[in-house]
Structure 1
């Protein structure tokens, strides 16, 4: 949901809420995507060291802090840096969710993977619409703070992820 919100609303947020010039609107998503890409390149080692539960817990808390900072801080370039840090924090959440389907016994792995994929795409597709609805009723800043609150909820519910996972065992 956050990724879809940054994709669809990051530029609008910079222009309408932070008074950025339209030429700089793409920097929010560019910073976020660059950070996610860089973090995913090193995520196997980080997840093996810290464990999936801690990566989700602290990554979501970092994301919530960064979104809150984006709303509260006035300087556009500082906000772009916070979008970068948001990408660093959230980069591992979806890969960990996909990997977690392998070590659960509640349903067939294929069904679990389909469920995680469906929920992921549902958030990516419906999240921006929800953000738009909330923004129309209140403001885009309020909608982003709502996402920050969702990230805090995900952080506190991170106990559903395994403590440690061996990502290299499939090779």
Structure 2
């Protein structure tokens, strides 16, 4: 029997929404706690940057390996059960890199950590789409905003633990217990899907997009959108500080503000995007976001001061903020494709994008200039807008 909003208890829906926000926050906070402790883990193992880089690649490898398994598991057990298991695995595996005795052990633990994150990513977005269907409202931007809050809180906690010299194992154990316990308490209110809700084989809800061409073609377009989105989002994290310090001669403190501006603007954008989507439509917001990104990075050829660059990164963050949430939402509601399968597919594509982005930008900047590299990212923003415009007439 299909779920209909008239059978839902309003309090249950509110609890489910807050429970999923906690899940997204936990996911963001886990890796934000991990990042500030990497130098100490490297020092404890006595490995050089090259070996550390290879070990860190384990996060991406684990994500690519387990993302297809996430979709299959959701199809068999449902997104709620997969989310519950994956959040326990993610919190539990956080402590393993801290106690890894060798480089090989570190690599193995990071594969597990990255794989757990990938499964949780697919499951929690599938749960978010399920709740959107039930409420007939855009919600994923708010969930991704909670993830952003988690990264801020986790980053501050990790930095504080590092500054006071807290042992990594004790730090990660405390984080695992606190975040894991929070997620377990919240899990009792995770939405419980009926089989037809995640199979997408039945008649769709009124607010669900209907394609007038094959769902595989729509999924391909959404995959390209998240691929370009990954290129866009990686640049501020990997290259903004390098760009400001090397090209604009900014101080170390000032150079770091570009990523802060991007992240802050992204958080603000995600906090307001659900309302904008409900009013103007997902496609229109995606197109505007892509144009914002294109304008921000396209202006790089005219930027000559650090403050101007920081403002440009803020504009880019505002434009990039709704791309991933909207793409996940649209993919999860495509007809004739199970939500977990669709979301798992574009999640894998995005992970490939995050793997190739630092290499592509670094190679272009080294061979030519940051200006050309950022022009390619501006074209990525235009590509998001163009692909969305292509998809838009087919969503009605």
TM-score w.r.t. the length of structure 2 is 0.40
| Aligned residue number for residue 324 of structure 2 | 94
Pairwise mapping of residues 9-88 of structure 1 onto structure 2 (< 5 A)? 9-88=239-318
Q: Deviation digits for residues 114-152 of structure 1, max 9, x if unmatched?
A: 011111222223211110111111112211111111211
Relative to structure 1, the CA distance from residue 106 to residue 136 in structure 2 (aligned partners, 3 Å threshold; closer, same or farther) is farther
Residue 137 of structure 1 is aligned with which of 350, 363, 367? 367
Q: 1:145 to 1:68 in 2, by over 3 A?
A: same
| Counterpart Cα distance in 1 of 2:336 and 2:236 | 33
**Residue in 2 that maps onto 1:113:** 343
Alignment of 1:2-13 (within 5 A): 2-13=232-243
Greater C-alpha radius of gyration: 2
Aligned equivalents of 2:364 and 2:386: distance in 1? 24
CA contact (8 A) 1:11 1:29 kept: yes
Kindly indicate whether the alpha-carbon contact (under 8 Å) linking 1:4 and 1:125 is maintained by their aligned counterparts in 2: no
Aligned length: 164
Kept in 1: contact 2:273–2:322 (CA 8 A): yes
Instruction: Find the aligned partners of 1:149 and 1:26 in 2 and give their Cα distance.
Output: 25
- Greater relative CO (CA pairs within 8 A, separation 6+): 1
**3-state SS in 1 of match to 2:362:** helix
Instruction: Identify the residue that residue 125 of structure 1 maps to in structure 2.
Output: 355
Hey, what's the Cα distance between the residues in 2 that align with 1:49 and 1:41? 15
Q: Is the 8 A contact 1:17 1:141 kept in 2?
A: no
Q: Does 1:160 align with 2:391?
A: yes
The 1:106/1:61 distance shift into structure 2, 3 A limit, reads farther
In the alignment, the residues of structure 1 paired with residue 310 and residue 280 of structure 2 have an alpha-carbon distance, to the nearest angstrom, of: 27
8 Å contact from structure 2 (residues 289, 323) kept in 1? yes
Contact in 2 for aligned 1:61/1:155 (Cα 8 Å): yes
Alpha-carbon distance between aligned partners in 2 of 1:7 and 1:129, rounded to the nearest angstrom: 13
Query: Residues 24 and 47 (structure 1 numbering): CA distance in 2 closer, same or farther, change over 3 Å?
Result: same
Deviation at 1:50, TM superposition (A): 1.5
Equivalent residue of 1:157, what SS?
Answer: helix
Please say if residues 10 and 25 of structure 1, whose CA atoms lie closer than 8 Å, have aligned partners that are also in contact: yes
**Does the C-alpha gap of structure 1 residues 111 and 25 become closer, same or farther in structure 2, counting only changes over 3 Å?**
same
CA deviations 1:10-55 (Å, max 9, x no partner) are: 1111111112122211111100000001111111101111211111
Whether the 8 Å contact between 1:134 and 1:140 is mirrored in structure 2 is yes
* 1:163, distance to aligned residue in structure 2 (A): 5.4
CA distance in structure 2 between the partners assigned to 1:113 and 1:128 by the alignment: 24
Normalising by structure 1, what TM-score?
Answer: 0.89
Relative to structure 1, the CA distance from residue 160 to residue 24 in structure 2 (aligned partners, 3 Å threshold; closer, same or farther) is same
Gaps of 5+ in 1: 165-171
Match of 1:147 in 2: 377
